[in-house]
């Protein structure tokens, strides 16, 4: 499992976890990980701090879900929303929640990883690490 944004992700294993995916999005969606509309608009309008948003997102959304079930469903996917890598976003809150709950790593996707994975699969090579 990895996370990314619609702008950069080029693979076909994306799962939209945002309120508004791209208009032409035909991939998977998982509304249970979408942020609550009220807190989404509150942070966009500057009415919440990032810390307040994270607390509310965990309370309103993540607390209702089982991290192991989420991981099992999407372990081979890339969770997508709009913010650029490095910007505050709920997909990284989800990643942190999974990491802390399950003791796993949920990195941000990058094209170098994708190309390496494709090369390994095409040559049936197993990674050394």
Is 70 exceeded by the pLDDT of residue 92?
A: yes
pTM of the model: 0.86
Q: What are phi and psi of 47, to 5 degrees?
A: -90, -10
Q: For residue 111, what pLDDT is reported? A: 75
Is 90 exceeded by the pLDDT of residue 52?
A: yes
How far is 10 from 16, CA to CA, in rounded Å? 13
Q: Are 17 and 90 in contact (CB under 8 A)?
A: yes
Residue 23: is it exposed, middle or buried by C-beta count within 10 angstroms (0-12/13-18/19+)?
Answer: exposed
Q: Domain coordinates of the chain in residue numbers?
A: 2-122
Is 80 exceeded by the pLDDT of residue 73?
A: yes
9-13, 32-36, 92-96: the lowest-pLDDT one: 9-13
């Amino acid at each position: 499992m990895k996370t990314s944004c619609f702008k950069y992700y080029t693979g076909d294993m994306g799962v939209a976890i945002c309120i508004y995916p791209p208009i032409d999005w035909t991939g998977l969606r998982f509304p249970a990980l979408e942020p609550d509309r009220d807190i989404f608009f509150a942070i966009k309008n500057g009415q919440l701090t990032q810390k307040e948003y994270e607390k509310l997102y965990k309370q309103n959304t993540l607390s209702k879900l089982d991290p192991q079930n989420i991981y099992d469903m999407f372990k081979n996917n890339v969770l997508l929303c709009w913010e650029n890598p490095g910007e505050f976003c709920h997909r990284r809150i989800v990643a942190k929640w999974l990491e802390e709950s399950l003791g796993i790593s949920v990195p941000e996707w990058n094209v170098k990883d994708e190309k390496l994975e494709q090369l390994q699969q095409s040559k049936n090579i197993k990674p050394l690490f």
